[in-house]
Amino acid sequence: MAEFETSSLSLDVSRIGALCVEEWESFLESMASVPVPQRQDLRGFFLNWVAVFIPEAFPSSLQSQMSTWMNAQIEASESANWGYVKPPLIGSTLFALTGSSWWLRIQLSNFADGGSLVRNFFHKSLGLVAPRITFDSYLVERLDFGMKAHYFYMDVALALYAVSLGDHETKIVNLKRWQEGFLNTHEKNAVDGFLNGSPVINPLQHWMLEKMTYVAMRLGSFPIAPPAYTGLPLGIKFSGVWEQMQAHPLFSSYIELKR
């Protein structure tokens, strides 16, 4: 029997939808702040988490607003504008809601960005949606480029690759190819572990759990304004959300190559 399956606990979908609206409005208000406040990441992660695990709670009107805004951000990212660093978690949110990889354009186009902090942030912003991503030939090419760069650290990217959709045998071929070249220590441990079928330390767990602390606190708080009637169900079973999170590979201490 699944854990909490017989529990009567439920999550108030309408209230969570109202929290999403508040987080989005706060996100927009802080967009012009320099330096970018850390809470922007927390707000983006909260929206992304809801989109992945409780999409029923996401108001359709909010999704529409975010889509219009994100389209403008994607267009702006084509220019030399560092503003493209700010919205990747919003892109991941829209990807989770729609399944369209168009919304991941900023992260995927800059997957092998030369700036280590920017590149690492882009990789982490894909953590929640990694099990739904497919590494096509272009993305594998960018991963390949990063693996060959001596000054790059790609252990997070390898974790995303390991849990992503795709043919297991093709992944093995790529891992063996990378194993033959230069590897930094973290990448070597990951590649060797995946090829040997051994559990590999999850480099994303600390980041994911840190952001989950904020999610938990927000779910336990009340929205400033009472939620408007949206036609959403009054509640969703706690057990269903819990089981989804338990099944997500990047919340675990160790990960294995998806088969």
Give me the helix-helix angle, 168-179 and 185-196, nearest 10°.
140
How many H-runs (helices) and E-runs (strands) does the chain carry? Answer: 12, 4
**Any domain includes 228:** yes
Domain count, the chain: 1
**Any domain includes 106:** yes
- What angle (nearest 5°) sits at the alpha carbon of residue 94, between those of residues 229 and 110? 160
Check residue 1 and give its pLDDT.
Answer: 44
Residues whose CB is less than 8 angstroms from the CB of residue 131 and which lie 6 or more positions away in sequence, other chains included:
163, 164, 165, 248, 249, 250, 258
**Segments of the chain with pLDDT less than 70:** 1-8, 77-86, 225-238
Length of the chain as a residue count: 259
**Any domain includes 116:** yes
CA distance 127 to 219: 20
Cα-Cα-Cα-Cα torsion 239, 233, 13, 53, nearest 10 degrees, comes to 50
| Residue 189: closest CA among 179, 204, 180, 181 | 179
Check residue 109 and give its pLDDT.
Answer: 87
**Any domain includes 159:** no
Check residue 37 and give its pLDDT.
Answer: 78
The burial of 237, by beta-carbon neighbours within 10 Å (0-12 exposed, 13-18 middle, 19 or more buried), is given as: middle
3-state SS string over 208-238? HHHHHHHHHHHHCCCCCCCCCCCCCCCEEEH
DSSP code per residue over 19-68: HHHHHHHHHHHTTT-SSPPTHHHHHHHHHHHHHHH-GGGS-HHHHHHHHH
**Any domain includes 182:** no
Check residue 47 and give its pLDDT.
Answer: 97
- In one letter, which amino acid is 142? R
CA distance 250 to 93: 17
Check residue 76 and give its pLDDT.
Answer: 76
3-class secondary structure, 12: strand
**Any domain includes 240:** yes
Check residue 236 and give its pLDDT.
Answer: 64
CA distance 28 to 9: 33
Domain that holds residue 17: 10-131+204-255
Check residue 235 and give its pLDDT.
Answer: 58
* Tens digit of each residue's pLDDT (9 = 90 or more) over 112-150: 877 788 888 999 999 999 999 999 999 999 999 888 877
**Any domain includes 92:** yes
CA distance 168 to 148: 22
**Any domain includes 166:** no
